Amino acid sequence: MRHAAGAVVTVVAVMLLPSLFGPLLGDLRRWVAGATPTAAPEKLTQTSDASPEAVGSLGAWPSLALVAGCTVLALAGAARVLHSRDV
């Protein structure tokens, strides 16, 4: 993004909105909690006493795939923007 305020709002929305609106979704709460960008790294570093409600229901390998996928999408988007704006 070209503006710092837009970038900050985007990051806050991606990180916080699923956690805020997850409880409103009822039965889908566990899926939303497990698919957020913050829950996947928590799942990878969790201890054996962490509850599925806290870190989601994804296993370790799907969580790692989610983190890797988000990273690849972010890098691809950055490369595309750099390529299109760099003259």
Tell me the C-alpha distance between 33 and 41, whole Å: 12
pLDDT of residue 87: 63
pTM of the shown model: 0.55
- pLDDT, tens digit (0-9, with 9 covering 90-100), for 17-63: 777 777 777 777 777 766 677 777 777 777 655 565 555 566 778 77
Tell me the C-alpha distance between 17 and 9, whole Å: 11
68 has pLDDT over 90: no
Tell me the C-alpha distance between 69 and 59, whole Å: 15
Domain range spanning residue 41? 4-85
Domain count, the chain: 1
